[in-house]
């Protein structure tokens, strides 16, 4: 029944934040498997393959725990193991969603340890980026090939997104999602 907030779970360690959380959670709590609890994570990146496996193991040992994960970006989203890890999590009952701009801003203001006076300098991810990541997450969950290619030019700090939609994407991704991205236009019948 508590609302404990843990910040900076990846600080001063070689583990990813997911593994750090699991280790800290299990070391601080001893509860019976019949006790239910809900955990919500706000992560900068989606879990990698190894973290996905650690999360699944944790959840299998604690069947009363439900997990919802909000992510800002997809970690190496074209890597087949990472894609399978995310699918395995969803198939295990984990909810994974891309953060909206307002959720991202909320996380920045409430959970990030930024230097005093620098709260206005939060990294901005335009809503279009978030929409493209959400589309790619749908492709991952539906076992479709990647539709999003991301290129970064570190000198200019520019990020380029390129969509490569195939017939399987158009046939499988729900039309309302494609409509929301502006990738397809609604069909209009003139009489």
**Residue 28: pLDDT above 80?**
no
Indicate whether 121 and 32 sit together in one domain.
Answer: yes
162 and 74 share one domain: no
Same domain flag for 143 and 181: yes
Q: Is 103 a catalytic residue?
A: no
114 and 133 together in one domain: no
Of 108, 125, 142, which residue sits at a domain end?
A: 125
Domain with 142 in it: 126-190
Last residue of a domain, one of 96, 125, 154: 125
Number of domains in the chain: 2
Quickly state the pLDDT bin for 31 (edges 50, 70, 90): low
If asked whether residues 10 and 80 sit together in one domain, one would say yes
Span 143-155, pLDDT tens digits? 999 988 877 766 6
How much is the pLDDT for 52? 96
What are the φ and ψ backbone dihedral angles of 12, each rounded to 5 degrees?
Answer: 55, 45
Q: Read off the pLDDT of each residue in 172-186 and give the average, rounded to a whole number.
A: 74
Q: pTM value?
A: 0.81
Q: How far apart are CA 29 and CA 14, in angstroms?
A: 23
Question: Residue 68: which pLDDT band, with cuts at 50, 70 and 90?
Answer: very high
Mean pLDDT estimate for the chain: 81
Whether 71 has a pLDDT exceeding 80, the answer reads: yes
Q: Are residues 144 and 155 in the same domain?
A: yes
CATH number, domain containing residue 85: 3.40.140.10
Per-residue pLDDT at 131: 83
pLDDT confidence tier of residue 3, bands split at 50, 70 and 90:
low
**Same domain, yes or no: 27 and 55:** yes
The residue from 18, 28, 103, 118 that is catalytic is 18
At 116-138, the pLDDT tens digits run 766 665 566 667 788 888 889 99
């Amino acid at each position: 029944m508590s609302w404990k907030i843990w910040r900076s779970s990846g600080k001063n360690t070689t583990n990813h934040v997911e593994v750090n959380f699991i280790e800290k959670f299990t070391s601080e709590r001893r509860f019976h498997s019949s006790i239910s609890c809900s955990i919500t994570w706000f992560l900068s990146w989606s879990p990698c393959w190894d973290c996905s496996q650690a999360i699944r193991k944790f959840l299998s040992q604690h069947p009363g725990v439900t997990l919802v994960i909000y992510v800002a970006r997809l970690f190496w989203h074209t890597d087949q193991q990472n894609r399978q890890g995310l699918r395995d999590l969803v198939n295990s009952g984990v909810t994974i969603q891309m953060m909206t701009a307002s959720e991202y801003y909320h996380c920045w203001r409430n959970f990030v340890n930024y230097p005093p006076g620098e709260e206005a300098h939060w990294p901005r991810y335009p809503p279009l980026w978030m929409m493209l990541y959400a589309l790619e997450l749908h492709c991952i969950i539906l076992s479709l090939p990647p539709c999003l290619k991301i290129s970064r030019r570190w000198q200019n700090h520019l990020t380029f997104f390129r969509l490569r939609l195939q017939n399987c994407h158009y046939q499988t991704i729900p039309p309302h999602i494609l409509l929301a991205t502006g990738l397809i236009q609604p069909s209009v019948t003139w009489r």
